[in-house]
Structure 1
């Protein structure tokens, strides 16, 4: 093997290590809950450092749902047992409404009460059914022993 080939292999290895380290760092950052806004049985949770993958997001929910209920009283159930929780990217913080299609929270009495609509995860529960998780068109259910099951696109349940 020539020294040029060894040099190229070392450079590629360093790039691989750097990229792997970056993704490990991203996936191991602690999720920061900035705020929770509630409107009846609908909760918006503003977060930073949310997991990158759908599976990581669901696992984070499973590991933290008791804490969310104890600390923030979510989910808030409707009389029929249904609820909706949306986890939003807090991004650059609260902004004025100004820009079209920002999500604004009426429970804040300030001009800066809106965020960009960057949704990480939605959790729905209807009636007494099991909750399901939604991510940009993909939906998942929890099976036995919290096994994550991807729903087919044509599933209505």
Structure 2
């Protein structure tokens, strides 16, 4: 974090004043440790620190206002919504039955072999392909 005046550290001052007011607070201790180790806090942590520091008697209002400004300056991160699952493709059993009946009688029929491979791979058969299967079934089987 680049500061205009490195000798002035408002967040550290607020952390120390809040630590003096709440010496047994593990939350403030962890925030102070993280601030010293990593050099910064997240927006949510700063908001929680502000809520806790606002309750401290004797906290300078200028420091709280500066903390509010730092919070407003930080970007708000949003989680993207979970992606929707792909719709489950339901195989047309009638087309599968027709394909198998045709291949039993004519095992080398290239068009039906192509449609069978498409059907077995889970690809959706178009209405024209379904019509073609029914037409071939009607011509070759019935």
Larger RCO: Structure 1 or Structure 2 (Cα < 8 Å, ≥ 6 residues apart)?
2
For the criterion TM > 0.5, the same-fold answer is no
TM-score (norm. length: structure 2): 0.23
Q: Which has the higher strand share?
A: 1
Whichever of the two has the greater Rg, that structure is 2
TM-score (norm. length: structure 1): 0.22
